Amino acid sequence: MDDVFSNFDLVLKAFGLTLELLVISGVLSLILGTLLAAFRVGPVTVLARFGTAYVTLVRNTPLLVVFIFVFFALPKLDVQLPFLLKGTLALTVYTSAFVCEAMRSGINAVSVGQAEAARAIGLTFGQTMSLVVLPQALRAVVPPLASVLIALTKNTSVAAGFGLLEATARMRGFTNNNADARTLIFLIFAVGYIVIVEVISAGAFGLERRWRAAR
């Protein structure tokens, strides 16, 4: 029990790694997911098909299998990457499929008339997207994107099975060494995750309210 509190810096450090994984792969999957969503709604059929295939394949593959790909299969192909990079790569590949779906649902939520009006005044696809559809879609996309980021927060725990010492791996270490206080240790780490999740939730709620007021 005292082990946890005397080593509390280790708990914080573990959550630091969790946050690091979350932020890096969050930003990367936002970029990749937006690109994929653009492919999927765009006019180039080949890219749209590619986007659909990517999303279908990745969404139906468990994150754990993606981790097996990145951590065990890539080295067999002579691709050597540092651990943190491998973790973020696996999380990014997986999460970007969900970001793509969230973005697409946001674009679909913009009423048809908006896009039609934009086309009617002669805007190109790029202009329609960047000036009319996306600014409105951004509002609709906040709640599903927040869910994706919350899922990502929880998904960083999978890295524990692959040698990254983030919060879940640290909890396993502590529970192994402190048989008398397992439940308390579990609750401490659970609260850590809940705090991160609630911060994302609150942030999304705030953004949603602010943008709704601006409309």
Residue numbers 193-212 binding another protein by CB under 8 A: 193-194, 197-198, 200-201, 204-205, 208
Taking the C-alpha atoms of residue 187 and residue 118, their distance in angstroms, rounded to an integer, is 52
Task: By CB under 8 A, tell whether 25 contacts another protein.
Answer: no
Choice from 6, 45, 80, 213 touching another protein (CB under 8 A): 45
13 binds another protein (CB under 8 A): no
Give the orientation angle of helix 134-155 with respect to helix 8-41, to 10 degrees. Answer: 140
Please report whether residue 56 would count as binding another protein according to CB under 8 A. yes
* CB contact at 8 A, 97 and 115: no
CB of 51 to another protein, least distance (A): 11
Task: Kindly write out the interface string for residues 137-166 of this chain, putting x where it contacts another protein by CB under 8 A and - elsewhere.
Answer: ------xx-xxx-xxxxxxxxx-xx-----
- The structure tokens listed for 165 are 């010492």
Q: How many CB atoms lie within 10 A of CB 176?
A: 9
Whether the CB-CB separation of 97 and 54 falls below 8 Å is answered with: yes
* Contact between 6 and another protein per CB under 8 A: no
Query: Does position 80 bind another protein by CB under 8 A?
Result: no
Which parts of 82-141 interact with another protein (CB under 8 A)?
A: 98, 101-102, 107, 112, 115-116, 119, 124-125, 128-129, 133
73-87: burial string, b at 16+ Cβ within 10 Å, e else:
ebeeeeeeeeeeebb
Question: Which class for 119: exposed (0-12), middle (13-18), buried (19 or more C-beta within 10 A)?
Answer: middle
- Closer by beta carbon to another protein, 7 or else 114: 114
The only residue of 27, 72, 135, 212 in contact with another protein, by rule CB under 8 A: 72
